[in-house]
Amino acid sequence: MMDKPWSNRAWFLVIPVLVVVLFSSLLPMMTVVNYSVQDTMGQNSFFWNGVGWFQNLLDPTSDMGGRFASALVRNLIFSLVVLMIELPLGIAVAICIPRHGWKVGATLVLIALPLLIPWTVVGTIWEIFARQDIGLFGAALNGIGIHYNDTEDATSAWATIVIMDVWHWTGMIALLSYAGLKAIPDAFYQAARIDGASRWSVFRNIELPKLQKVLVIAVLLRFMESFMIYTEPSVVTGGGPGEATSFLSLDLVKIALGQVDLGNAAAMSIVYYLITLTICWIFFTVMTQLDQRKGV
Amino acid sequence: MRFQGRNIGIVVYLIILFMPIYWLVNMSFKTNFEITSRLSFWPHQFTLVNYAHIFLSPVWRGGFIHSLTYVFLNTIISVTLALPAAYAFSRYRFIGDKHLFFWLLSNLMAPPAVFAMPFFNLYYSVGLFDTVWAVALAHCLFNVPLAVWILEGFISGIPREIDETAALDGYSFPRFFLKIFLPLIANGIGVAAFFCFMFSWVEQLLSSTLTTINAKPVVSVMTQIYSAAGEDWGLLAAAGVLTMIPGAIVIWFVRNHIAKGFALGACPGNQLRCRWAAAILGEA
Q: Which of B13, B24, B125, B181 to mutate to test the interface with A (most CBs of A within 10 A)?
A: B13
Q: pLDDT tens digit string along A117-159?
A: 999 899 989 988 988 888 888 888 888 888 888 878 888 899 9
Residue A135's CATH number? 1.10.3720.10
Type of residue at A253: V
The tally of domains found in chain A comes to 1
Q: pLDDT tens digit string along A231-266?
A: 888 888 887 788 888 898 888 888 887 777 788 888
CA B112 to centroid of chain Cα atoms: 15
Q: How far apart are CA B215 and CA B135, in angstroms?
A: 9
Q: Which of A85, A89, A134 to mutate to test the interface with B (most CBs of B within 10 A)?
A: A134
Choose between B102 and B211: higher pLDDT.
B211
Q: Say yes or no for a CB contact (<8 Å) between B111 and A21.
A: no
Q: B63-66: which pairs have CB atoms within 8 A and are 24 or more residues apart?
A: B63/B216, B63/B217, B63/B218, B63/B219, B63/B220, B63/B221, B63/B222, B64/B218, B64/B242, B66/B132, B66/B211, B66/B215, B66/B216, B66/B217, B66/B218
Chain A contact present for B279, CB below 8 A: yes
Q: How far apart are CA A254 and CA B121, in angstroms?
A: 17
For residue B53, give Cα distances in angstroms to A125, B57, B235.
Answer: 20, 6, 8
What are the chain A neighbours of B2 within 8 Å (beta carbons)? 199
Type of residue at A76: L
CB A113 within 8 A of CB A119: no
Please give the torsion angle defined by the CA atoms of residues B18, B21, B27 and B28, in that order, rounded to the nearest 10 degrees.
-130
Q: Say yes or no for a CB contact (<8 Å) between A253 and B116.
A: yes
Of B6, B36, B252, the CB nearest to A109: B252
Please report the number of interchain residue pairs, chain A to chain B, with beta-carbon separation below 8 angstroms: 306
CB B113 within 8 A of CB B181: no
Q: Which of A21, A160, A272 to mutate to test the interface with B (most CBs of B within 10 A)?
A: A21
Residue B106 pLDDT > 50: yes
Judge whether A35 lies within some domain.
no
Per-residue b or e along A209-225, where b marks 16 or more CB atoms closer than 10 Å to that residue's CB:
ebbebbbbbbbbbbbbb
The pLDDT value recorded for residue B227 is 58
Whose CA is closest to B18, among A106, A175, A63, A51? A106
Q: How far away is chain B from the Cα of A80, in angstroms, using its nearest Cα? A: 17
Residue B63 pLDDT > 50: yes
Half-sphere exposure of B83 (CA within 13 A, CB side): 20
First to last CA, chain B: 32
Of A32, A175, A257, the CB nearest to B209: A257
3-state secondary structure of B106: helix
Chain B contact present for A280, CB below 8 A: yes
Chain B contact present for A158, CB below 8 A: no
For residue B249, give Cα distances in angstroms to A135, B79, B242, B255.
Answer: 27, 20, 11, 10
Judge whether A22 lies within some domain.
no
Q: pLDDT tens digit string along A88-102?
A: 999 999 888 887 778
Per-position DSSP letters for B62-86, written without gaps between them: HHHHHHHHHHHHHHHHHHHHHHHHH
Q: How far apart are CA B119 and CA A32, in angstroms?
A: 10
Chain A contact present for B17, CB below 8 A: yes
Per-position DSSP letters for A230-241, written without gaps between them: -HHHHHHTTT-S
Question: What pTM was estimated for this model as a whole?
Answer: 0.85
Kindly give, in sequence order, each residue whose CB lies less than 8 Å from that of residue B203, ignoring residues fewer than 6 positions away.
Answer: A118, A119, B112, B139
Q: How far away is chain A from the Cα of B266, in angstroms, using its nearest Cα? A: 4
- The range of the structural domain enclosing residue A252 comes to 67-294
CATH architecture of B54-283: Orthogonal Bundle (1.10)
Q: pLDDT tens digit string along B6-28?
A: 888 899 999 999 999 999 999 89
Mean pLDDT of B258-272: 41
Judge whether A169 lies within some domain.
yes
Q: What is the mean pLDDT of chain B?
A: 82
Q: What is the widest separation between alpha-carbon atoms in chain A?
A: 79
Q: Say yes or no for a CB contact (<8 Å) between A21 and B144.
A: yes
3-state secondary structure of A48: strand
Residue B122 pLDDT > 80: yes
The pLDDT value recorded for residue B229 is 53
The pLDDT value recorded for residue B258 is 62
| Reported confidence tier of residue B74, pLDDT bands at 50, 70, 90 | very high
Chain B contact present for A290, CB below 8 A: no
Of A13, A176, A252, the CB nearest to B282: A176
CB A164 within 8 A of CB A236: yes
For residue A291, give Cα distances in angstroms to A3, B174, B274.
Answer: 17, 34, 11
Domain extents in chain B: 1-47, 54-283
- Chain A window 84-103: which residues touch B at a Cβ cutoff of 8 Å? 92-93, 95-98
Residue A194 pLDDT > 80: yes
